[in-house]
Amino acid sequence: MTDNADISADLKTRVESAIADRTPLAIVAGGTKQFMGRMIQAEDFDVSEHRGVISYEASELVLTARAGTPLSSVEATLAEKGQMLPFEPPYFGHGATLGGTVACGLSGPRRPYAGAVRDFVLGVTLINGKAEVLRFGGEVMKNVAGYDVSRLVTGALGTLGLMLDVSLKVLPVPAEDLTLTFDMDFAEAIQQMNRWAARPIPISGACHDGEQLRLRLSGTAGGVNTAAERLGGERQNGEDFWRDLRELQLRFFDGDDPLWRLSVPPTTPPLALPGRTLVDWGGALRWLKSDADGDSIRSVVSTAGGHATLFKGGDRTGQVFHPLPAKLLDIHRRLKRAFDPDRIFNPGKMYEGV
Amino acid sequence: MQNSETAAVDHGLDRAALAKMLRQILPAEAVLFEEEDLRPYECDGLTAYRKLPLVAVLPDTLEQVRAVMRLCYEKNVPVVARGAGTGLSGGALPLENGVLLSLAKFNRILEVDAVARTARVQPGVRNLAISESVSHLDLYYAPDPSSQIACSIGGNVAENAGGLHCLKYGLTVHNIIELKMVTVEGELIVIGGRGLDSPGYDLLALMTGSEGMLGVIVEVTVKLLPKPECARLTLAAFDDVEKAGAAVGRIIADGIIPAGLEMMDNAAIRATDDFVQAGYPTDAVAILLCELDGTEQEVGDQLQQVRALLDDCGATEVRVARDEDERARFWAGRKAAFPAAGRLSPDYYCMDGTIPRRELPNVLAGMGAMSKEYGLPIMNVFHAGDGNLHPLILYDANVPGEIERVEELGSKILQLCIDAGGTITGEHGVGIEKINQMCVQFKSPELLQFHAVKHAFDEHELLNPGKAVPTLNRCAEFGAMHVHEGKLPFPDIERF
């Protein structure tokens, strides 16, 4: 397999024949995120050979790469110029690709402070469900020509079309990272993380793992060290911790209970739910290991103003994502129809009928 | 200048009949139909395009907005929503057979959550009013379009407004978390949420910058950021545009993301200095304004680095603003660029193309040549950090034929931006102004995909029809249809 190949013509042909014989396709590349979303009946459509960085200029802060490009090679390319993907994407395995990362809308611990993957997507080339190759957005930071389709397909789990390539805004790697730990309980930690976020402190991660609050600072050496002196706490080498948190490989994530991802307002106090909880994103993300039934989890999270996803494990044939109000679900189905009228791409992966 | 297409729908209602129906669901004073009352709504910030709406309405409750939409949906009447009317692309240009829906009365800040760092506001709240209302908490709302004193947050969402600080802090799309929207049928829906994401498709992003084509925004929850501890502004002068452009690239490649990074050409330097006495070096070919913000230590570290880079890139002069007064004065010049153009010339036309920064010298040279060819002066202000150009073409609308030539020149400048790998609009929107250029930037299947997105929300094309996305017929008329291998993609549609 080569590091650089444009097989878009073959991919288009495959989509044309799928439309002709009405074969639904399940888009796959590295296969590291197949556990996500709903289980669907469709033929595997391997797009991993469509790969390679198409353009990258550090002084423009923009990288364009084919969707099958391994995430590791994107990050290595950026690292050579002292830059990074600011949303700190998880890999969930060796073969992770850029396309899968964008399609799944996955962002790591830096997300509340730097932004999510959708915040950095500038443009995409897409094969829609009519086998048309379409380009939206571009390689510039500001672009309001036409609807923001690039961000619409980010996190759409491949249900609106096959992404061929993506243009992303990238950022410099901060000169210095520093991790502080604080002994405090859950409820106090949530309040503390919110108080810090309201002050001009160079935070790049804030988590409570059930035992301690961990805070990561990133920036210039002077900025980070001064902030650390003011905040106190205990300095630690946090690199392994933040990587294991990003990859969901901390010991917290062990065990057979389903893993729920709860996205809530950051100030939400600890939720009364059975199971174990870990807080990330400065309070806005709660990971829950629990075998409680989905409806009761969703109900508690809804009341708190958030939404719950059955992230890993459990029953993947029913509702995996938080149910949508009727009118919103209707808009989702209409959008699906607008991009993929024959329901070729990942049908039902997100919601039934979507 | 070309007129907007009157929406194709024929609802058969005249002004009196429609006004009568609207007065049954709104207080009498909220329904305007006399010509003198409609006049203030005939245009937005793009004054070259003017039209009177059939009726203008000014509801002040959510229920009233829903009732207006329900009525218009039932009667097949098109609706154009309007905020403060400061838009620069004619997005709020009324339709002769439509209702102009003003959200000006929705001007209340509903809730500020200092701990969660959010503000829930009505769409008519002015951009700057948000930051002012939370200043005592040491928080602010980051996007700061130049019109921030007057423009409203609903319009900011509709256009995905940017500003001077978006390289570091992002556009509107990066700084809002939840919208309440009334659909074309009059239903109220919530998009986004109070957390950092929401289930399903990213409709929050889709709505942002959708120019009133998909729904009517009736409430916006914005993110608030902590005010930076300190901000320092550096002014650097150059004797060559290419050197100034190279300096921008060097600063960024060196790992610094300035809070603001602006460039002005000599015409802009002289015009603004004359106007507000900013203290700019008026003999410079170009100046850069580079603002660093953060903690004292961060800014101190980076300031040294930036000074050294600017010297190395051949700056003829580097000045760090000594104090807040001087910093405000340096910014005042940049912020006064548009009014300064207005002093130099009876009229000016502001462009909004965005290009990859490395193309700056070529694009500026191309514009210079076109300016000579057309005999129309251009002054340039430039959000250098993110590649967003605002060339201002100076002209006199009273000279017969001049407005047509300005439009032709503008169209060529946008073509230049597209050829350089850029876009026709960075932050002002397509509206009616750049609708023909959309035919150049996008191929027919892409335009059809946009229409399909609109139809998912608005099947009968009642929301701001005729704006933002051209019909294929219009593109064929404009004569800019992309010809692929000698074949037009839709040989069977009418062309005239």
Chain A to chain B, count of Cβ pairs less than 8 Å apart? 271
Q: Are residues A52 and A145 in the same domain?
A: yes
Give percent above pLDDT 90 in chain B: 85
Q: How far apart are CA B312 and CA A292, in angstroms?
A: 63
Supply φ then ψ for residue B99, to 5 degrees. Answer: -95, 135
A98 in Cβ contact with A33 (< 8 Å) = no
Q: Are residues A201 and A102 in the same domain?
A: no
Which residue among A128, A221, A334 sits closest to B449, beta carbon to beta carbon? A128
Predicted confidence band at A1 (pLDDT cuts at 50, 70, 90)? low
Q: Are residues A132 and A165 in the same domain?
A: yes
Mean pLDDT of A175-186: 96
Predicted confidence band at B488 (pLDDT cuts at 50, 70, 90)? very low
Mean pLDDT of A54-81: 97
Q: Are residues A158 and A242 in the same domain?
A: no
Give B456's contacts in chain A (Cβ within 8 Å).
331, 334-335, 337-338
Residue that the structure tokens 């690039």 belong to: A150
Give percent above pLDDT 70 in chain B: 95
pLDDT of B247-303, one tens digit each?
Answer: 999 999 999 999 999 999 999 999 999 899 999 999 999 999 999 999 998 999 999
pLDDT at A138 over 60: yes
In chain A, whose CA is at the least distance from the CA of B201?
Answer: A156
pLDDT of A254-292, one tens digit each?
Answer: 999 999 999 999 999 999 999 999 999 999 999 999 999
Q: How far apart are CA A14 and CA B87, in angstroms?
A: 45
Helix (H) / strand (E) element for A118: namely helix A117-120
Query: If contacts are CB pairs under 8 Å, which of residues 212-251 in chain B contact chain A?
Result: 213-214, 226-229, 249-250
Q: Which pLDDT score is estimated for B361?
A: 86
Sheet containing B317-320: which strands, arranged edge to edge? B317-320, B230-238, B286-294, B260-265, B378-383, B388-395, B347-350
Q: Which pLDDT score is estimated for B279?
A: 93
Residue where a domain stops, chosen among A193, A213, A246: A246
Does the CA dihedral B440-B445-B448-B452 come out positive or negative?
Answer: negative
Q: How far apart are CA B137 and CA B130, in angstroms?
A: 12
For chain B, report the end-to-end CA distance as a whole number of angstroms: 19
A154 in Cβ contact with A115 (< 8 Å) = no
Task: Assess if residue A225 is contained within a domain.
Answer: yes
Count how many residues are written for chain A: 354
Give A118's contacts in chain B (Cβ within 8 Å).
202, 205
Helix (H) / strand (E) element for B110: namely strand B109-113
Mean pLDDT of B144-172: 94
Sequence letter at residue A252 = F
Give B226's contacts in chain A (Cβ within 8 Å).
197-201
pLDDT at B82 over 70: yes
Q: How far apart are CA A6 and CA A147, in angstroms?
A: 27
Mean pLDDT of A38-48: 97
Q: Which of A175-179, B2-6, B404-408 has the lowest mean pLDDT?
A: B2-6
B438: its two tokens = 């959309």
Q: What b/e readout covers B443-473, taking b as 16+ CB neighbours within 10 angstroms?
A: bbebbbbbebbbebbbeebbbbbbbbbbbbe
Q: Which pLDDT score is estimated for B2?
A: 41
Torsion of CA B484, B489, B493, B496, to 10 degrees: -20
A266: number of CA atoms within 13 Å, CB side?
28
Q: Which pLDDT score is estimated for B493?
A: 43
Does the CA dihedral B396-B402-B405-B411 come out positive or negative?
Answer: positive
B194 in Cβ contact with B116 (< 8 Å) = yes
In chain A, whose CA is at the least distance from the CA of B353?
Answer: A143
Question: pTM of the full predicted structure?
Answer: 0.95
Task: Assess if residue A31 is contained within a domain.
Answer: yes
Q: Hey, is the C-beta of B453 within 8 angstroms of any chain A C-beta?
A: yes
Q: Are residues A131 and A197 in the same domain?
A: no
A291 in Cβ contact with A258 (< 8 Å) = yes
Torsion of CA B4, B6, B8, B14, to 10 degrees: 160
What ipTM, to 2 d.p.? 0.98
Residue A57 buriedness (CB in 10 A; 0-12 / 13-18 / 19+): middle
Strand partners, B288: B236, B263
Question: Whole domain around residue A74: which residue ranges?
Answer: 8-172+335-339
pLDDT at A308 over 90: yes
Task: Assess if residue A299 is contained within a domain.
Answer: yes
Sequence letter at residue A173 = V
**Domains of chain B, earliest start first:** 15-102 (3.30.43.10), 112-226 (3.30.465.10), 230-338 (3.30.70.2190), 345-429 (3.30.70.2740)
Q: A87 or B481, which is more confident? A: A87
| A119 CA: distance to closest CA in chain B (Å) | 6
Mean pLDDT of B308-330: 96
Residue where a domain stops, chosen among A197, A216, A246: A246
Count how many residues are written for chain B: 496
pLDDT at A44 over 90: yes
Q: How many domains does chain A have?
A: 3
A233 in Cβ contact with A180 (< 8 Å) = yes
Predicted confidence band at B483 (pLDDT cuts at 50, 70, 90)? very low
Here the CATH number for the domain that contains residue A59 is 3.30.465.10
Q: How far apart are CA B130 and CA A198, in angstroms?
A: 16
Q: Which pLDDT score is estimated for B56?
A: 98
pLDDT at B494 over 70: no
pLDDT at B9 over 70: no
Q: What b/e readout covers A281-301, taking b as 16+ CB neighbours within 10 angstroms?
A: bbbbbbbbbbeeebeebbebb
Nearest to B223 by CA among A141, A286, A112: A112
Give A58's contacts in chain B (Cβ within 8 Å).
252-253
Residue B12 buriedness (CB in 10 A; 0-12 / 13-18 / 19+): exposed
Output the CA–CA distances (angstroms, integers) from residue B367 to B58, B358, B360, in the order listed.
43, 16, 10
Mean pLDDT of B203-229: 98
pLDDT of B257-273, one tens digit each?
Answer: 999 999 999 999 999 99
Q: Are residues A94 and A166 in the same domain?
A: yes
Q: Are residues A86 and A158 in the same domain?
A: yes
Here the CATH number for the domain that contains residue A206 is 3.30.70
Q: Hey, is the C-beta of A131 within 8 angstroms of any chain B C-beta?
A: no
